[in-house]
Each structure stands twice: as structure tokens, then as C-alpha cells.
Structure 1
Amino acid sequence: MNCPLDYLDPDRAKSAAGHRAPAAGRAGPTGLPAERTQGAANTERAYRADLTHYTDWCAVQGIDGLPTTPALLGQYVSELAPIRKWATISRRLAAVRKWHELHQLDTPIDDHWLRATLKGIQRQHGTHAEQAPAFGAAQLKRIVGGLITESDGVPRFGPLRDKVALLLGFTGAFRRSELVALNVEQLHFSDDGVVVTYHGSKTNQVGQREEKALFYSADPAICPVRTLQRWVALLERPTGPLLVRVRKANELTQERLTDQSINLLVKKYLGDRYSAHSLRASFVTTAKLNGADDSEIMQQTKHKTSAMIRRYTRLDSIKQHNAAKKLGW
């Protein structure tokens, strides 16, 4: 089985190549119905993008890909497997599943033959997902502590906003989509620190109210609460987007930052190997190294299981979190 297409049953592959599926209800350009996909906005955008990739592939084959068949999906995945990570393939299959669910059709993803085919492809090509690396707390302290946020008594809005984003993303363990969606009115300051309230996230798609707490640091230069207080004061408004674009002339706007801008910001200060997701991974790793238990970490990350905490923990050095230190030798 050197060729991925060998996983396909010839009869099934033949039927897939000639597949001309009838339309199943009104669909938009991506094949998704007009109604929303009942998820967070980022999830919906991802479904649409992934479904577009699949339907474009079908168009090249001269096939109407929706509704689809197990054989057609097997062919699609076998062509993707040598060039795409399994996480990407799984996401695209999830989009196809969602399309069928929204059209109240049986999903071919659960077909026994397809599941066996996918396992075969996984064995041949592997399923390891590349994870966003974590940075060290000392590294972030040096970076944010060294940012020049004022010159001759005049605030430098760009560096100050970046400092807010890095500190908030790390100490609050925020996803980038959550960060850019925050508004000023969601910050509630007190003598203890600040509580951030928000509604809806990747793991809370029904919009329930959630809270995260940030606390004062002994070092004002890296304190997330003091930095936020200063930034909010300079915004001079009680409502509206928290993280906004800054024009080259050091002029504040009310234009909300995008998900991608947070990713670029992290790379700018920490290096190209890092991403916005490194903020959360670094929070989990740093908290674990400092003795936090899973329930404490989950209170901030909003993960639902300890298994996800273990997945997020990046203890790559053999010297970290090693039982050999506790032998009493």
C-alpha cells in the first residue's frame, strides 16, 4: 500500500468518481445553508473555509460533492494525507459532518468502511499535531518590562497596547478570538485586581457568562492590572473595543484588532516559532511548574477536563518537572 489511493475499494472509488449528488436544500457558496452553524463565530468561519476547500476539490474532479459518499471522502482524504496535517484533515471532515447534520442527512463520516480507511491512512502518514510552543515566564517578563510605553511624558499607544495584549493574553490565558472581542465595559477593577467578564468562547458556544481574574504584580513594570488601568484611562471612554488599531502618527482609533493581528504581535516580540496560542500554553506550563493544580488552572483557561490541561502543558526540557529531583539523594 505505497499509494494512499490503495486504501480505496475499487468499486467504491469508481462509484465516487461518478457521483452526482442531488441538491439537499438551499445552500450558499460554501455549501452551508443560509442558517448559522450554531457555533462561535470563529468556528463558523472555519467550517465555511474548510467546506469551501472540499467543494472546490470536488469541482476539479467534476463531481457534485454534497451530499457526499464515504468513497468520495476516502478519495479526498487520501489525496490530502501526504501534504496536510491530520488535524487539518479532521477539521475538514468535521465541516462535512456539520453540513449533513444541518441538512438533517445521515453523515457518511460514521460509515464503517470509511472509518477503517481513515485509520489506514493515519497509520501510513501519522497523526502527530504540531503544537504551539510555550515561552518561559522570565522571557516574557524581560520583553514586557523593556517596552517603552512613554516618551518625554507622551504615551506611546502602540507599545502600550501591545503590552496590554501580551499581559492579558498570558495571565488571563485568553484565546486570541476572546482577546480581540473584549470591551472596556467588561473590566471590573477592585482592590484585589480586575475581573474580566465575557460571553461565549470555543468551549462555551451558548453564550453563558464567564469570568477571569487578574491580580496585581509586585513589579509595576509587568503588572497586568496597572497596565490595563493605564490603557483604559488613555482610551477615555467607558465602552467599546479594548484592543484597537493605532495609526502611525500615534493616534488611537476605535477599530478592533483582528485574530491575526494578535498572532503577528506575538511573533513580533517572541519570535516566529511562537503564535497567539503560545500565550495559553505558556500560562498552563508556568502555572504547573509553580505548583498549581489542574482545577486552579481550569478556573482560568475554562478547559473542561484535566486531559486538556495535560495536552497544553509544555515540559520539553528533561530538567523540568522531573521526579529525579525528588529522590532525596
Structure 2
Amino acid sequence: MNQLPTAPPVATAQVPPHLVDSTSRYVESGLRGAANTVRAYAGDWKRFNAWCTLNHLSALPASVEALAGFLTELADAGKKVATIQRHAAAITKAHELAGHDSPTADKKIKVLLKGIAREKKTRIKQAAAFTLATFKRTIQSMDVTTPTGLRNRALLLLGFTGAFRRSELEALNLEDLAFDEEGLIISLGKSKTNQLGQAEEKAIFYSPDSAVCPIRSLQAWLRVLGRTEGPIFVSLRKNQQLTARRMTTKYINLITQQYLGSGYTAHSLRASFVTVSKLNGADDSKVMNQTKHKTSAMIRRYTRLDNVRQHNSAKELGL
């Protein structure tokens, strides 16, 4: 079993017969979570299954001892703390979907994970944030004489000014866009923090500098795209010919690194939006209105202020 298991059938004694199938489907949807998370967990679950098979152990349900051995092997192999924690989360999810108690709830596993993190003495790596000056230089230096350049410029500018997750950029369709004289409103479907698909919108504004204007850059790309519906960001062939294939999140990440450097990821676009906004004095409610975060605590977590000079009251002592 390499894929995440399906949720067990709902007990029919409590549910009217004509509702059983629908109830089971809703339960499984609630347990599974975001599509990107499901894909990541499926790979981790496949790895755990292979390890259990190799060692003649049951993966579902798994014993505490089996899980401990698997996590220890990951740690000894030099895997990052975040990677080990994600594998544990995937195993938890698989057991939930199958209706089993997860061995990750055992105190021994919790102590083991704590010990692994302490011994490695590493923080969970966060996507780096760039400065606004660096970003503007990058955009202004891009070759936009080709469809690829036009697409990539629009992608980076929209990703930054809209504080998009890469999964949201991947999912954008032309039907989601509404232009007017004030700018652009983008309607979002489901996202990591909006599993119910409730109506959410992001506002994009014109920039006085056309070279770094997200709306003008997007419109230039849309003229090349030449369609009125379907995915906005698509793959291109080597001869610059457009395809109908939606760009993947992996490729969006590679484009970000191509222009900004290997120290950044697609998530840096979102983290940098938060950081630049906070440095420019925006309050949390304004930032959250664009990022769609639910709490100020998440805004603080996203704000990258590693440079001691960036955000320091020593400049305000009045000396």
C-alpha cells in the first residue's frame, strides 16, 4: 500500500442508509487535507511501507517499535528534523484515515523526536526573504523579449505582490481575474488554509514604474497567452511555443531560484511580502488581508528580520 489509505466506512447504525456514501466521502475529505500535503505524505508513506516490508514489519497498524526504528534510521541517515517530522505526520495521517490509533501518539515516540531534534540542534529551515531593492533589480534585469521572459516576470511579480503560495500560483485560471481602473482582483479557490473553498480575494495594484508593475506585466503575458480561460501559467517548449500544460509547483520553485538565486524558494515570494510590508510599517491586519493568514502569530513567524539593522529601536533613541 503506497498511497495513503482511505477512511474506513461510516458505521451504518448511526447514519441513514441513503447518506452513508456521502458521509464517508465527507469524512475522508476532512481527514486528508490540502492536495499538496496529500502528495507529500503519500511519498513519505510509501517510504515507510518499503522500510517495513524490508524489515518484515507491519506498516498499518504500525507498532511503536517499528516507528521508532524507522525514525532512527532517518536520523542516522542525516535527514533534516523537518523531514523526519513530516514522515511522522504522514504516518499519523495514514493511521487516522484507516481508523487506527497512531504510534506517533506514544510518549516514547515524542521523546525520541525531541531527542533527535536536540541532538541535531537545527531549526526548521525557513524560506529566505529578499529585500525590495534586490527584487526590483532582478525584475528590471530580466529579458522580456521572449514569451518565457514575459511569463516569468509576471509570475514573480504576481507571486510577490499577491503573497501567493506556489500551489495557488499553479492553480490560477484566467477566469479568476477581474481587472478594473483601480487594479486587479483575483479570486481564490481552495488553498492550504481555506480547505472549504470559501470566497477569498487578493488585490493587486498598479505600480508607477511600469518595469516592475505586476498588472502591466501580467497583461503583457496574457496577450501572448491569447486565451480567455484555462490556466494562466503554462509550460513552454524550447522553441517558445506555448502548451496547455499547467506549470507545476516544482517548476515555479525552479524559476524563482533561477532569477533570485539558490538560497531562495518560491515561498520566499510570500515571506518577502510579509517582511517588506512590516518594514514599511504595515499593521498585521493589512498584511493578513493579502496573505489570508488567520493570526498575527503567523505573521510574526513569516517576518524575516535577520539583519540586526533592519528593525531596531536603537535608531529611535533620539541621540
TM-score (norm 1): 0.86
Deviations 1:99-124 (A, max 9, x none): 11111122222122322333233322
Match status 1:48 vs 2:38: no
Q: Which residue of 2 aligns with 1:258?
A: 248
- Residue from 9, 29, 32 that aligns with 2:5: 32
Deviations 1:53-79 (A, max 9, x none): 111121222222211122221222222
Q: Which residue of 1 aligns with 2:79?
A: 84
Match status 1:73 vs 2:67: yes
What pairs up with 1:127-142 in 2 under 5 angstroms?
127-142=122-137
Runs of 4+ off more than 6 Å: none
Match status 1:246 vs 2:258: no
AA of the residue aligned to 1:30: Q
Q: In the alignment, is the contact (CA less than 8 A) between 1:180 and 1:259 conserved in 2? A: yes
Q: In the alignment, is the contact (CA less than 8 A) between 1:87 and 1:127 conserved in 2? A: no
AA of the residue aligned to 2:129: A
Deviations 1:204-231 (A, max 9, x none): 1222221111101010110001111222
Q: Which residue of 2 aligns with 1:178?
A: 168
AA of the residue aligned to 1:139: T
> Quick one: distance in 2 between partners of 1:253 and 1:322?
49
Deviations 1:268-299 (A, max 9, x none): 11111111111111111111110111111111
Gaps of 5+ in 1: 1-27, 151-155
Match status 1:61 vs 2:55: yes
AA of the residue aligned to 1:277: H
Partner of 1:317, secondary structure, is coil
> Quick one: distance in 1 between partners of 2:184 and 2:113?
47
Partner of 2:168, secondary structure, is helix
Q: In the alignment, is the contact (CA less than 8 A) between 2:2 and 2:45 conserved in 1? A: no
Partner of 2:304, secondary structure, is coil
Q: Which residue of 1 aligns with 2:108?
A: 113
AA of the residue aligned to 2:225: L
AA of the residue aligned to 1:259: T
Identity of aligned residues (%): 51
What pairs up with 1:151-166 in 2 under 5 angstroms?
156-166=146-156
AA of the residue aligned to 2:282: A
Gaps of 5+ in 2: 8-27
Superposition deviation, residue 324 in structure 1: 0.4
Q: Which residue of 2 aligns with 1:16?
A: none
What pairs up with 1:210-221 in 2 under 5 angstroms?
210-221=200-211
Deviations 1:78-107 (A, max 9, x none): 222241111111111111111111111222
AA of the residue aligned to 2:110: R
Superposition deviation, residue 31 in structure 1: 5.1
Match status 1:318 vs 2:308: yes
Q: Which residue of 2 aligns with 1:286?
A: 276
> Quick one: distance in 1 between partners of 2:274 and 2:46?
34
Q: Which residue of 2 aligns with 1:147?
A: 142
Match status 1:223 vs 2:213: yes
- Residue from 91, 97, 120 that aligns with 1:125: 120
**Bigger strand share:** 1
Q: Which residue of 1 aligns with 2:19?
A: none
Partner of 1:273, secondary structure, is coil
- Residue from 191, 195, 199 that aligns with 2:185: 195
> Quick one: distance in 2 between partners of 1:285 and 1:309?
9
Q: In the alignment, is the contact (CA less than 8 A) between 2:32 and 2:93 conserved in 1? A: no
Q: Which residue of 1 aligns with 2:10?
A: none
Q: In the alignment, is the contact (CA less than 8 A) between 2:74 and 2:84 conserved in 1? A: yes
> Quick one: distance in 2 between partners of 1:182 and 1:270?
22
Tell me the number of residue pairs that the alignment of Structure 1 and Structure 2 aligns: 297
Q: Which residue of 1 aligns with 2:21?
A: none
Match status 1:169 vs 2:171: no
Structure 1 vs Structure 2 CA RMSD:
1.6
